[in-house]
A and B are shown apart, each in its own frame.
Chain A
Amino acid sequence: MLKVTNLHASVDGKEILKGITLEVKPGEVHAIMGPNGSGKSTLSNVIAGRDGYEVTAGSVEYLGKDLLELEAEERACEGIFLAFQYPVEIPGVSNMAMLKAAMNSIRKYHGQDEIKAGDFLKLIRQKADLVEMKHEFLKRAVNEGFSGGEKKRNEILQMAMLEPKLALLDETDSGLDIDALKIVSHGVNALRSPERSMVLVTHYQRLLDYIVPDYVHVLANGQIVKSGDKSLALELEAKGYSWIEGIDDNQTTAAQAS
């Protein structure tokens, strides 16, 4: 599904990703862990097509296409979804309006008719229930005045509505209390399927108790320094990051401080 090969990317001339290679097959769940500042969000953003990153080497192939050739909105229409580490507040645009525009835009891209108003309403209510979001939130402006946890649940609601093929979840667990974490995990697990792949970016292994990954990778200083199965996450939890080669003490301190 997704094949990242020797990806190098920089921001303002500063290299942040220094040769990432990663393959995600349909239905797989990969966790990417690593200290703060190691490049996890950068990787997610580059895959989702955010402006401001320069890919200096390597390739990203998605469903057989050169992903880097596509605009962000085309990538979304092709089934890529990014749950933001910091969801954006959009005053004046309601959750419903945004999701309806998104769904119809994606349908149009695939040559399908717009969704019927009644069907849309039924669907969005059902998905709101999945993430235990009160229906009145649907009419509110996107993320405006939402608590941290509500924003993260809103990301999962959007994902549930848009039914992506590849979901990138950037620290969806951070800032959640245990109840919210359970709700979010339940929402994510409900979307797991043999066709849908997920990349979970997380700082903590806690999330992986609820969403059990097939693979775990450790990203440090712009490179994947170790890969394994879910037991790697437990090892990280017990020992911290410092025992892994390629992570210097500086980064470890940064990770613990955050």
Chain B
Amino acid sequence: MITANENQSWVNAHAGVALPGADVAWLNEQRAAALAQFEKVGLPGVRDEDWRYTNLRALKSNDYALNSASVLNVELAETTNPRLVFVDGHLDVAASTGLSDSVTSLKDSLAIVEGAFGSTLPIEPHGFTALNTAYAHDGYVVNLTPNQVLDGVLEVVFVSQSANAVSHTRNIIIAQANTQCTIIERHIGAQGSVYLNNIITEIVAGDNAHIDHYKIQQESDDAFHMGGVFINQASNSQVKNHNIALSGLVTRNDIYCNLLGPGAHMEMNGLVVGKGRQHIDNHTEVNHAVPNCTSDEYYKTVLDDHSRSVFRGRIIVAQDAQLTNADQQNNNLLLSKNAEADCKPQLEIYADDVKCSHGATVGQLDPTSLFYLKSRGINAESANALLTFAFANEVIERIKVDRVREELTQILAGELLSGLEELI
């Protein structure tokens, strides 16, 4: 049970923190509404259907503090990409490259995001989303004016380096007509450190905008990651969201997409690799609001040890949304008898002339394939690793940008192919 006291303590924890835009009326209105929503719904608990399997006791039993600006104290791998670095949710300008007219921090861009901020969120957001709106302190903003192409790949690294830090980061991508960008978000944290990363990215895709958005989650094994990616798509826009969760103690992602203009295409690729006592939830929702849109969702999960995952994939096809083509696949591989995957496809189809398909599987490695590899002299452990890697890598293979795909393949090989990395 969540008590009013508990909720109040979350509010108290944020009292006295200076937030940007204290004098910006539209923002204050949104913050006040979000706070009221939080006071109404509180933090989610197992009594909420959408959180039934998600144990937040460990998260709630800890006290968190919202830091003011922090300075990066870990070394990041070299990159040739422009890279923004956020430390405990605050942009570290000195550690960042790639800031420009189009790539800014939320704090500096309140005028730009007016109208976009909050526009993609669900009407009745849950407690974490509400807290994020109420206390959003920073984030990245990409603002592309019509026909603008953001060259190359923009990397944004979110480093959680302080123990017991909470951050409510809000990122906003505004891609006006005929624009194009590729953005990678990385989430990393000091191993063994407990913190709460409550982060939302809003994507507003204009007519014919092409957006490739990657989220690579490699938090501390003891961290909590509450993530939201909320997307509105206009006509003929194409948004690809790649959601790779490799770490963290409890992870929750809400990935919601509204297809609001004919010809829009959404692709959601997801990969979960769970071990230990990790818990990973992915709640996706594709809302086909108008005719002639397509969506293609492909989620895979590999679970070892006592890890658990939830995949809830909702597809809504409105009555007017004729000629919708929606596909959803969710395949789960259990490597341990103590691992558990729950998958809940939810199709709500109100139009009659549509093509909607979905498939969900939960299983183990194929014994015939294992025997084939073993009969070639490959030991059982390597055979398992190779087949597991192959299963998971099918998600990575859907990535069209060569260098991103290659890098993710390497990361995945590091996770699943230890000792055999040179094979791929």
Residues of chain B with a CB closer than 8 A to A94's CB: 424
Please tell me which stretch of B15-23, B195-203, B371-379 contacts chain A, meaning at least 4 of its Cβ atoms lie within 8 angstroms of it: B371-379
Known A92-B391, A105-B382; judge A73-B372 contact (CB<8 A): no
Q: Are B380 and A71 in contact (CB under 8 A)?
A: yes
Residues on A with C-beta less than 8 A from B386 are 93, 97-98, 101
Q: Is A106 an interface residue (CB 8 A)?
A: yes
Evaluate whether A77 and B377 lie within 8 angstroms (CB atoms) in the complex, with A93-B387, A101-B382 already known.
yes
- Whether B420 and A101, one on each chain, are in contact in the complex, defined by CB atoms closer than 8 angstroms, is yes
Instruction: Confirm or deny: A102 has a beta carbon within 8 angstroms of a beta carbon on chain B.
Output: yes
Contact B390 A106 (CB under 8 A): no
In chain B between 393 and 407, which residues have their CB closer than 8 angstroms to a CB of chain A? Answer: 393-394, 397
The answer to whether B380 and A90 touch across the interface, beta carbons within 8 angstroms, is no
Per DSSP, are chain B's interface residues mostly helix, strand or loop, or mixed?
Answer: helix
**In the complex the two chains form, is A76's CB within 8 Å of B423's CB?**
no
Which residue from B372, B376, B377, B393 sits with its C-beta under 8 Å from A92? B393
A76 is contacted by which of B376, B389, B393 (Cβ under 8 Å)? B376
Q: Which residues of chain A have C-beta atoms less than 8 A from B359's C-beta?
A: none
> In the complex, what residues of B have CB within 8 A of residue A90's CB?
369, 372-373, 387, 390
> Does B62 belong to the interface (CB within 8 Å)?
no
Q: A114 to chain B: closest CB distance in Å?
A: 9
Q: Which of B380, B390, B397 contacts A93 (CB 8 A)?
A: B390
Q: Which of B369, B389, B394 contacts A88 (CB 8 A)?
A: B369
> Are A98 and B373 within 8 A (Cβ)?
yes
A88 and B397 alpha carbons, distance in the complex (Å): 21
Q: With the chains together, A91 CA to B379 CA distance in Å?
A: 19
Cross-chain contact A51 with B394 (CB below 8 angstroms) = no
Q: Chain A: which residue is nearest B385 at the CB level?
A: A101
Enumerate A96-128 residues with CB–CB distance to B below 8 Å. 97-103, 105-106, 109, 117
In the complex, the answer to whether A76 meets B375 with C-beta atoms within 8 Å is yes
Residues of A within 8 A of B372 (CB): 84, 87-88, 90
Query: A108 to B389, alpha carbons, bound, how many Å?
Result: 22
**Shortest CB distance B369–A (Å):** 6
In the docked arrangement, what's the CA distance between A105 and B380, Å? Answer: 10
Which residue of A72, A93, A97 is within 8 Å of B375 (Cβ)?
A72
B100 within 8 A of A: no
Report the count of interface residues on B (CB-CB < 8 A): 27
- The total of Cβ contacts below 8 Å across the A-B interface reads 87
Within 8 A of B (CB), among A16-65: 48-51
Any chain A CB within 8 A of the CB of B368? yes
Minimum CB distance partner of B382 in chain A = A101
Does chain A have a CB within 8 A of B367?
yes
Contact yes or no, B394 A92, CB < 8 A: yes
Q: Once bound together, how far apart are the Cα atoms of A103 and B393, in whole Å? A: 23
Q: Which residues of A contact B420 (CB under 8 A)?
A: 101
Closest to B397 in A: A92
> Measured between C-beta atoms, what is the minimum distance from B128 to chain A in Å?
35
A158 touches B (CB below 8 Å): yes
Return B417 CB to nearest CB of chain A, in Å. 10
B376 and chain A: residue at smallest CB distance:
A102
The minimal Cβ–Cβ distance linking B382 to chain A, given in whole angstroms, is: 6
With beta carbons under 8 angstroms apart, the residue of A71, A88, A106 that contacts B368 is: A88
**Is A162 an interface position by the 8 A CB rule?**
yes
- In the complex, which residue of chain B has the Cβ closest to the Cβ of A50? B371
The answer, yes or no, to whether A82 is at the interface (CB within 8 Å) is: yes
Give the one of B368, B372, B386, B423 with max A CB within 10 A: B372
Docked Cα-Cα span, A84 to B376, in Å, equals 11
Nearest B residue to A52, CB-CB: B367
A62 to chain B, nearest CB (A): 14
Nearest Cβ on chain B to A73's Cβ, whole angstroms: 4
Query: How near does chain B come to A40, taking the closest CB pair, in angstroms?
Result: 17
Pair B389/A98 contact, Cβ less than 8 Å: no
B382 touches A91 (CB 8 A): no
Which chain B residues lie closer than 8 Å to A105 at the CB level?
Answer: 377-379, 382
User: Bound state CA distance, A76 and B374, in angstroms?
Assistant: 7
A49-B390 in contact (CB<8A) = no
- In the complex the two chains form, what is the Cα distance from A102 to B420 in whole Å? 11
Nearest CB of chain B from residue A85's CB, rounded to whole Å: 12
Would you list the 5 A-B pairs with minimal beta carbon distance, nearest first?
A92-B390, A76-B377, A102-B376, A88-B372, A106-B377
Give me the interface of B with A, judged by CB distance under 8 Å.
367-369, 371-380, 382-383, 386-387, 389-391, 393-394, 397, 420, 422-424
Q: List 27 A-B contacts (CB under 8 A).
A: A48-B375, A49-B374, A51-B367, A72-B375, A73-B379, A75-B375, A76-B377, A77-B377, A84-B375, A88-B368, A90-B373, A90-B387, A90-B390, A91-B390, A92-B390, A93-B387, A97-B423, A98-B373, A98-B376, A99-B376, A100-B422, A101-B373, A101-B376, A101-B378, A101-B420, A101-B423, A105-B378
